[in-house]
């Protein structure tokens, strides 16, 4: 069975094909137009999706050596995300489904991220824990099986990726902020300044990043411009370390209360962070748990994770109706 996956929830236009459970193509077009604005402009994002979606799908088919007539079903993100961006993908897929006379299935973007670790990993054990950490979400999930997920912790304010983006703006770095801070921090001292590691009262698996961002702002305003410029790598490294410590502190609390869990997965755009990957190895050594991260191309938004999340559902006969609408604030 050949399933085409489509992802257009934000500023990546992506198409992927899963054949009998195996990934055979994955094309991602990342919009560059937003960098000069310091963030994603929704109207521009939807227009870019319209401009690129046909070419991206054709490239995915070419890479898989397939034609449209070889497709058996289509999976598409229908939320959460930007309304205009979601509309482009969902309406395009509806038209394809009608034209090709094949079913389509709407997939929750968050479920896609949970499945990103399963694309190249066939030795999945349940139950497992997944830390989903991105620009819009920071959550800890207990995954009981392929169809059963329980949210056990999440951010009470900003997402970790949002803290990176806002921190980068304070530091005068580019957008997206996560990769910029990651890059400049490589030569920085993580102990240069002790930024706070906020905790959420009576919620050991939850997160809070707004106070950390504010601490960076106040610190940057307190020092001289010369001090700021000469120590920017150290400041960025210290700030990044505080964000990551918050993530791993919550994971430590989680594994104490869920000792039956052997495998911990980390997914989402922040999973591409180099220092996070270093700390994952240390965490694995210290706590004797398997820490599994997806390949870099599966961390940011991509259609491979959407197609993978849909595969078993479609094989079992699930499909969406044509009255399905986008849900920008969709929960899992």
> Alpha carbon of 290 to those of 64, 83, 261: distances in Å?
32, 37, 9
Q: Does 15 have pLDDT greater than 90?
A: yes
Token pair of 327 as six digits: 């849900």
CB atoms within 10 A of CB 142: 19
The model's pLDDT over 221-250, given as tens digits with 9 standing for 90+, comes to: 999 999 999 999 999 999 999 999 999 999
Confidence of residue 39 (pLDDT cuts 50, 70, 90): confident
Contact 240, 181 (CB under 8 A): yes
Would you put residue 101 in left (φ > 0), alpha (ψ -120 to 50) or beta?
A: left
For range 308-326, the mean pLDDT: 96
HSE-CB for 272 with a 13 A CA cutoff: 23
CATH fold of 2-114+299-315: Nucleotidyltransferase; domain 5 (3.30.420)
User: Token pair 């034209």 is at which residue?
Assistant: 99
Phi first, then psi, for residue 273 (nearest 5°) are -65, 130
H/E stretch holding 228 reads helix 225-230
Distance CA 243, CA 255 (A): 19
Helix (H, G, I), strand (E, B) or coil at 211: helix
Strand order of the sheet with strand 138-145?
148-154, 138-145, 128-133, 263-267, 290-292
In this prediction, residue 32 carries a pLDDT of 87
The model's pLDDT over 248-285, given as tens digits with 9 standing for 90+, comes to: 999 999 999 999 998 999 999 999 999 999 999 998 88
Considering the domain 127-293 in this protein, what is its CATH number?
3.30.420.40
> Alpha carbon of 205 to those of 63, 132, 212, 252: distances in Å?
41, 12, 17, 9
Average pLDDT, the chain: 95
Distance CA 89, CA 327 (A): 13
CA dihedral 213, 217, 222, 226 (to 10 degrees): 110
Q: Do the two domains 2-114+299-315 and 127-293 of this chain adopt the same fold?
A: yes
Provide the residue ranges of all domains of the chain, joining segments of one domain with +.
2-114+299-315, 127-293
């Amino acid at each position: 069975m050949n399933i085409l996956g489509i992802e257009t929830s934000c500023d990546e236009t992506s198409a992927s094909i899963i054949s009998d459970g195996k990934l055979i193509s994955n094309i991602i077009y990342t919009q560059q137009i937003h960098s000069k604005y310091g963030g994603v402009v929704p109207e521009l994002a939807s227009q870019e999706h319209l401009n690129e979606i046909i070419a991206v799908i054709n490239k995915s088919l070419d890479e898989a050596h397939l034609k449209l007539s070889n497709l058996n079903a289509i999976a598409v993100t229908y939320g959460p995300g930007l309304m205009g961006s979601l509309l482009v993908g969902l309406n395009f897929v509806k038209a394809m489904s009608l034209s090709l006379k094949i079913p389509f299935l709407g997939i929750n973007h968050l479920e896609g991220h949970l499945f990103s670790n399963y694309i190249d990993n066939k030795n999945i054990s349940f139950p497992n824990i997944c830390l989903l950490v991105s620009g819009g979400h920071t959550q800890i999930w207990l995954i009981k099986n392929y169809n059963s997920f329980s949210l056990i912790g999440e951010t009470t304010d900003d997402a970790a990726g949002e803290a990176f983006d806002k921190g980068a703006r304070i530091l005068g770095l580019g957008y997206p902020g996560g990769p910029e801070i990651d890059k400049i921090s490589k030569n920085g001292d993580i102990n240069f300044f002790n930024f706070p590691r906020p905790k959420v009262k009576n919620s050991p698996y939850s997160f809070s990043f707004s106070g950390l961002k504010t601490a960076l702002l106040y610190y940057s305003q307190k020092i001289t411009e010369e001090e700021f410029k000469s120590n920017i790598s150290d400041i960025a490294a210290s700030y990044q370390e505080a964000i990551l410590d918050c993530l791993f502190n919550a994971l430590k609390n989680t594994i104490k209360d869920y000792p039956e869990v052997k495998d911990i997965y980390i997914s989402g755009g922040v999973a591409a962070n180099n220092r996070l990957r270093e700390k994952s190895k240390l965490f694995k050594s210290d706590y004797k748990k398997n820490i599994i991260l997806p390949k870099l191309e599966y961390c940011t938004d991509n259609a491979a994770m959407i197609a993978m999340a849909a595969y078993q559902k479609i094989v079992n006969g699930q499909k969406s109706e044509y009255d399905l609408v986008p849900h920008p604030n969709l929960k899992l």
